[in-house]
């Protein structure tokens, strides 16, 4: 359902992605593993429209999402959601956590009554192991791991076709990590979505992912 072909990206004359191709099927959790600074987040940023490739193209459900010659299709791209490596950067510092989540539900019409919205919200918080008091705090009043889980809850609310987790559980202890990833796996299988799971933790990637790409200098190789 998502396919990237021959992506290339250079920063200041230095090639980060030389010829990167990857494919993720429906209901599949695919890992992207590799050392720091190799280009994993750059791949993710291309898939969600933050970086434009200099060559190559990306297709989502057979439709072109972006290519070197055409800009990112924002309408199609709504089906792609990413939990960023720096979770606090993705949260509006002036807004309470609850206000941000309410706004998301309202803008995307995820519930048709206040009651339904409240249920959706508490269900989603429970799923990522958070409780209601977090809603009245601002981003600087929550921990890194809590911020990661708020970001994950936001993405899950939107039921994306492709969920990109970029070191999205790196600040969580092993037990919380397992508790948070279990519902992600369930939803992926139930809704036939796809997950790109980026990590430099090989053991975690092995445990969570059905298939794994390893990033080496400028390219991806599928781990047999
Ligand atoms: N906007 C930018 N301008 C210049 N160089 C950049 C930019 N963004 C990333 N880079 C460089 O590109 C390389 C790949 O960065 P990227 O963030 O994709 O790595 P990564 O594999 O995600 O690393 P990590 O595991 O540390 O998150 C790094 O050397 C980084 O310094
Ligand atoms: Mg990164």
Note the ligand closest to the C-alpha atom of 82: 2
Which residue bears the tokens 């998502």?
Answer: 2
Distance in Å, CA 162 to ligand 2 centroid:
18
* 74/113 same-domain check: no
* 123/176 same-domain check: no
Task: Provide block-wise average pLDDT over 10 residues at a time, the chain (224 residues).
Answer: 97 96 96 94 97 97 96 96 90 95 95 95 93 96 94 94 95 91 90 94 93 94 92
The range of the structural domain enclosing residue 41 comes to 1-79+160-224
* 105/215 same-domain check: no
Instruction: Count Cβ atoms below 10 Å from residue 189 Cβ, excluding itself.
Output: 13
Rounded CA separation 213/158 (Å): 26
pLDDT at 165: 97
* 62/118 same-domain check: no
Predicted TM-score of the model (pTM) = 0.94
Q: Which atom of ligand 1 is nearest to the CA of 43?
A: 18
Ligand 1 pocket: which of 13, 15, 16 to mutate (most atoms <8 Å of CB)? 16
Tell me the sheet residues that pair with 67: 57
* 1/71 same-domain check: yes
Rounded CA separation 140/11 (Å): 32
Distance in Å, CA 46 to ligand 2 centroid:
12
pLDDT at 89: 86
**R_g of the chain, CA atoms, integer Å:** 17
Ligand 1 pocket: which of 8, 33, 38, 214 to mutate (most atoms <8 Å of CB)? 38
Specify whether the backbone of 163 is left (phi greater than 0), alpha (psi in -120 to 50) or beta. beta
Distance in Å, CA 125 to ligand 1 centroid:
31
Rounded CA separation 167/145 (Å): 11
* 74/164 same-domain check: yes
* 216/183 same-domain check: yes
Tell me the sheet residues that pair with 194: 162
pLDDT at 62: 94
Rounded CA separation 200/170 (Å): 9
**How many domains would you assign to the chain?**
2
* 3/72 same-domain check: yes
* 5/112 same-domain check: no
Using an 8 Å Cβ cutoff, are 216 and 52 in contact?
Answer: no
* 191/143 same-domain check: no
* 4/50 same-domain check: yes
Residue nearest to atom 5 of ligand 1 (CA): 11
Which of 112, 133, 159 finishes a domain? 159
pLDDT at 116: 96
Distance in Å, CA 99 to ligand 1 centroid:
32
pLDDT at 155: 94
Which of 132, 159, 186 finishes a domain? 159
pLDDT at 88: 87
H or E segment to which residue 8 belongs: strand 2-11
Which residue bears the tokens 């090639």?
Answer: 15
pLDDT at 85: 87
* 142/183 same-domain check: no
Q: Which atom of ligand 1 is nearest to the CA of 51?
A: 1
Strand order, beta sheet including 80-83: 80-83, 162-166, 194-199, 29-33, 211-216, 219-222
Distance in Å, CA 198 to ligand 2 centroid:
8
Size of the chain, expressed as the number of residues it contains: 224
**Binding-site residues, ligand 1, Cβ < 6 A:** 11-12, 16, 34, 36-42, 85, 200
């Amino acid at each position: 359902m998502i396919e990237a072909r021959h992506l290339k990206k250079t920063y200041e004359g230095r090639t980060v992605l030389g010829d990167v191709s990857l494919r993720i099927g429906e209901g599949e959790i695919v890992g992207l593993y590799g050392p720091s600074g190799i280009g994993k987040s750059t791949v993710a940023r291309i898939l969600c429209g933050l970086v434009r490739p200099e060559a190559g193209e990306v297709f989502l459900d057979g439709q072109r999402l972006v290519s070197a010659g055409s800009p990112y299709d924002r309408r199609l791209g709504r089906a792609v959601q990413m939990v960023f490596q720096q979770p606090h950067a993705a949260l509006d510092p002036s807004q309470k956590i609850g206000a941000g989540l309410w706004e998301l539900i309202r803008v995307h019409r995820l519930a048709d009554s206040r009651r339904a919205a409240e249920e959706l919200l508490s269900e989603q918080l429970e799923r990522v192991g958070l409780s209601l008091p977090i809603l009245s705090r601002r981003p600087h009043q929550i921990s890194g791991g809590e911020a990661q889980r708020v970001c994950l809850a936001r993405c899950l609310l939107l039921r994306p076709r492709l969920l990109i987790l970029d070191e999205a559980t790196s600040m969580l202890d092993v037990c919380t990590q397992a508790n948070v990833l279990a519902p992600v796996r369930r939803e992926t299988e139930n809704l036939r979505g796809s997950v790109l799971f980026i990590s430099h933790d090989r053991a975690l990637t092995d445990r969570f992912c059905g298939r794994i790409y390893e990033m080496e200098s400028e390219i991806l190789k599928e781990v047999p």
